[in-house]
Amino acid sequence: MTNELPIIDLSGLESSDHIALHRISRDIGKACRTIGFFYVVNHGVDTIAAAFAQSAQFFAEPIAKKRALAIETIGGNRGYSGLLHEALDPAAGADMKEAFNIGLDLAPDDPELLAGVPFRSLNAWPDLPDFKKVLLGYFDDCIALGQRIHRAFALDLGLHAGFFGDKLDRSLATLRMLHYPALPADAPAGQMGAGEHTDYGNITLLATDNVGGLEVKTRGGEWIAAPVMPGAFIVNIGDCLMRWTNDIYVSTPHRVVNRSGKERYSIAFFLDPNPDAKVAAIPSCVPEGESAKYQPISAADYLKMRLDASKPAGIDAAPAM
């Protein structure tokens, strides 16, 4: 098995080119069954640079302004998460990163918001020109790309291309801007920007700056670097899709180790299903005569379970919904 992350050209994914769609489906399916990570190029998203510019402006704001938008206050897994607030690998200690989360942008009178649907909340916006407009445009671009990639998943799994369509049209997606400060000289050995973990949702679309630091754990237990590829997204399978496919697709442990001496920025787009989507093993993924490995669960309950487990000791569990 190769220890390099495959590069998949998405040219033709948006069109009615069935040859291109089946090529992409085959290549993505192979990556999902093996390393669980791949790059995508020719993806059609041209708002990456603008999103990074807004991210840098936000993280340069005074800490008091950022904390005014704290995730514990905003709720719904939205808002600002400060340094050492999360521990993706509790055994390694808290993560040296700060983040800002945006979800599906809802009107104050949205029926799901009024009904208290889990993880539905109003977004919080810093007082920065163009921030909201740019980041919502990027959010929409990533939603559309993630939905297109799921068409390839569906074909690879023997389903009709639109199988995931009604399960992702009101997604619990989270756009997370991340800033990893340069580690101080006296930082503890082994200090992580983000500890070893697998992602929780269906897929992650990750855009990075040119600093690097993402490492992926191979099936053989070896840590390999994910080289920077300008303009590409790094895509990885999350635990929810792994559960949906009865472990046909595999989520892969990864971490961020910022040894560069420089600050690092990335933007992760986590595509989770609709809150009421039933995550149950796809029948074609369960061998005849065997039972599914996991019990059905709603996407919202699954996300809450995973977020609760990521909080260091002394930090409250999942944000108020």
pLDDT score of 299: 93
pLDDT score of 23: 93
pLDDT score of 14: 76
Q: Which of 44-53, 69-78, 142-151 has the lowest mean pLDDT?
A: 69-78
Other Cβ atoms less than 10 A from the Cβ of 92: the count is 17
Q: What does the pLDDT average to over 91-111?
A: 89
In this predicted structure, the answer to whether residue 316 has a pLDDT above a threshold of 70 is no
How do residues 19-28 score in pLDDT, each as one tens digit?
888 899 999 9
Instruction: Enumerate domains of the chain plus CATH numbers.
Output: 7-308 (2.60.120.330)
Q: pLDDT-based confidence at 186, cuts 50/70/90?
A: low
For the chain, percent of residues with pLDDT exceeding 90 = 69
In this predicted structure, the answer to whether residue 319 has a pLDDT above a threshold of 60 is no
In this predicted structure, the answer to whether residue 183 has a pLDDT above a threshold of 80 is no
pLDDT score of 9: 96
Q: pLDDT-based confidence at 312, cuts 50/70/90?
A: low
Decide which of 64 and 305 is more confident. Answer: 64
In this predicted structure, the answer to whether residue 233 has a pLDDT above a threshold of 70 is yes
pLDDT score of 28: 97
In this predicted structure, the answer to whether residue 315 has a pLDDT above a threshold of 80 is no
For the chain, percent of residues with pLDDT exceeding 70 = 92
Q: Which of 155-164, 180-189, 195-204, 279-288 has the lowest mean pLDDT?
A: 180-189
Q: pLDDT-based confidence at 94, cuts 50/70/90?
A: confident
How do residues 189-226 score in pLDDT, each as one tens digit?
667 678 788 999 999 999 999 998 899 998 888 999 99
In this predicted structure, the answer to whether residue 318 has a pLDDT above a threshold of 60 is no
In this predicted structure, the answer to whether residue 317 has a pLDDT above a threshold of 50 is no
